[in-house]
């Protein structure tokens, strides 16, 4: 059974940061086995300031313009994250409409960092949420 429900014509699901961490294999989370990809849809300056280790980056602006998913995110379940949850909701809706399995993270990177989950900058050092 998939950790995602495919929903045609319906909105994608939403998950908490803890469930997102479980699905993507971050932190101490083990539920879900980390089979999903964490897709960060923030702008480049936000990504460079701080993102989850191992996340894949594709700004919502590029996704909305028709950009393809980066190779590591293709044909995999997606957990979509932004700063607060607004852009990730839009991105997840676009992705589901294109046939991907996607959910978005409520609270975004602000809640991710607030939960003590790892955040790194573009050089791999401790990052911040911009």
The pLDDT value given to residue 37: 97
| Residues with Cβ within 8 Å of residue 28, at least 6 apart in sequence | none
Q: Could you tell me the pLDDT band of residue 9, with boundaries at 50, 70 and 90? A: low
List 82, 91, 94, 119, catalytic entry: 82
Mean of all residue pLDDT scores within the chain: 89
Token pair listed for 81: 């994250």
Query: Is 115 a residue of the active site?
Result: no
- Global model pTM greater than 0.85: yes
| Residues with Cβ within 8 Å of residue 31, at least 6 apart in sequence | 19, 22, 23
Residue-wise pLDDT tens digits, 53-67? 999 999 999 999 999
Residue-wise pLDDT tens digits, 78-116? 999 999 999 999 999 999 999 999 999 999 999 999 999
Which CATH superfamily hosts domain 13-114? Rhodanese-like domain (3.40.250.10)
């Amino acid at each position: 059974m998939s950790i995602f429900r495919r929903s045609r014509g319906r909105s994608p699901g939403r998950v908490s940061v803890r469930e997102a961490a479980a699905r993507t294999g971050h932190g101490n989370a083990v539920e879900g086995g980390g089979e999903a990809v964490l897709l960060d849809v923030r702008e480049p300056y936000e990504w460079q300031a701080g993102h989850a280790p191992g996340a894949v980056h594709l700004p919502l602006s590029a996704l909305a313009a028709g950009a393809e998913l980066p190779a590591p995110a293709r044909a995999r379940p997606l957990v979509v994250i932004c700063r607060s949850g607004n852009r990730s909701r839009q991105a997840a809706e676009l992705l589901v409409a294109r046939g991907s399995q996607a959910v978005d993270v409520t609270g975004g990177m602000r809640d991710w960092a607030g939960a003590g989950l790892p955040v790194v900058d573009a050089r791999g050092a401790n990052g911040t949420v911009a």
